[in-house]
Amino acid sequence: MLYDLGPDRVRTQGEACFVAPQAVVIGRVTLGRDASVWFNAVIRADAEDIVIGARSNVQDGAVLHAPEAVRAHVLRMLDAGGIVARSGKVLPTPMHSICVHGDTPGAVANARQLRAALEGRGWQLAGLPQVLAG
């Protein structure tokens, strides 16, 4: 779904953009030609413009890229026991995993910083082999 945020409108470049029915695109977002936004992805541009380039895709789920914002967001959700809306309202949501993409510059350092922040708050983390082993 495409949503305006006040006067800020989602813009598309070309007719071939795809937004999955369960995806949400809000505010000052520009979707480039042939861009796609997949199931359960959320792109919310309420503070800065977000441009999804031509032939780019936003995969299933949400991805945050700013390291400080990621740490603060993850800790806030875990402390609150759910998704924290901009208004401060908590939407109770069980969380069992955090997906950290490793395909961007600085991704390993970002993951290490997030791990340190989580462990510093007393959260116990398990790697994929441990999770799969039960």
Q: Tens of pLDDT along 21-70?
A: 999 888 888 898 898 898 988 887 776 677 787 888 787 875 555 566 67
Residue 120 scores a pLDDT above 90: yes
- pTM score of the predicted model: 0.50
Residue partners of 39: CB distance under 8 A and separation at least 6: 20, 21, 22, 23, 60
pLDDT at position 118: 92
Residue 88 to residue 111: CA distance in whole angstroms: 26
Two tokens, residue 94 = 């069980």
Residue 38 to residue 59: CA distance in whole angstroms: 5
Average pLDDT for the chain: 82
